[in-house]
Amino acid sequence: MLAWRELLDARALALHRPDCTTVMVSPRSPAGTFPPAAARRLHDAALSRLLPALGGQVARATYPAPTGPVTLLVIAAGARRVKLGCLETEERDAVGELTDADVVLPAPLGRGDLGRPPRPCLVCGEPAKRCIVLRRHPRELVVLAARRLYARAFHDPSGLAPPADARHPHPHPHPHPTPPHHRDPHRSFA
């Protein structure tokens, strides 16, 4: 993954133009979260929301990546204005929640640089970077959370059933089940 990121950084540098801002648009979920068609649909939806918010596109290149398509956009505007457009798009809806739109050139510009709080984790809502660094959540839970957001965004859960290992992320989901002979047959669960 590190080699892939270095390759993208080199491509961004080659595509960048003076007096412009380069943005990397990528999925915000682990590799293999979505089938290829779903990853493309998410990416296309993110771009359709992002481009009007950013303005004058000078150059664009899309590359396949392990996590899904990644697009580099060169925008004829200052980095601060572009990052504000990225944030507006990321915070608008589930498509934005599943997409990273990062200013990478002329210099990286993050949410904190604009006085904004860190992005929340898809699983728990705490700062995402902290959860990633500390590996707080099993990969399966992150995938499941991303798939639920996708289903909400497109009202289409087809092909996004959770992987078998995400249905019960703990080895024993019910460590002390009530034995059948101790259950109250007259209790209603409706």
Structure tokens, 48: 């359709």
> Average pLDDT for residues 123-134, to the nearest whole number?
95
The continuous run of DSSP H or E covering 103 comes out as strand 99-105
The answer to whether the CB of 97 falls within 8 A of the CB of 88 is no
Predicted local confidence at residue 172, as pLDDT: 39
Answer yes or no: is pLDDT of 40 > 70: yes
Separation between Cα atoms, residue 51 and residue 57, nearest integer Å: 8
Predicted local confidence at residue 2, as pLDDT: 75
Q: Give the model's confidence band at 5: pLDDT under 50 very low, under 70 low, under 90 confident, else very high.
A: confident
Residues 6+ apart with CB under 8 A from 127: 117, 118, 119, 120, 121
Q: Give the model's confidence band at 118: pLDDT under 50 very low, under 70 low, under 90 confident, else very high.
A: very high
Q: Give the model's confidence band at 158: pLDDT under 50 very low, under 70 low, under 90 confident, else very high.
A: low
Whether the CA torsion 77, 58, 6, 37 is positive or negative: it is positive
Separation between Cα atoms, residue 118 and residue 7, nearest integer Å: 26
Q: What is the pLDDT of residues 58-67, one digit of tens each?
A: 999 999 988 8
Q: What is the pTM of this model?
A: 0.80
* Closest of 155, 179, 146, 178 to residue 39, by C-alpha: 146
* Closest of 30, 26, 23 to residue 53, by C-alpha: 23
Q: What is the pLDDT of residues 73-117, one digit of tens each?
A: 999 999 999 999 999 999 999 999 999 999 999 999 999 999 999
> Average pLDDT for residues 134-145, to the nearest whole number?
95
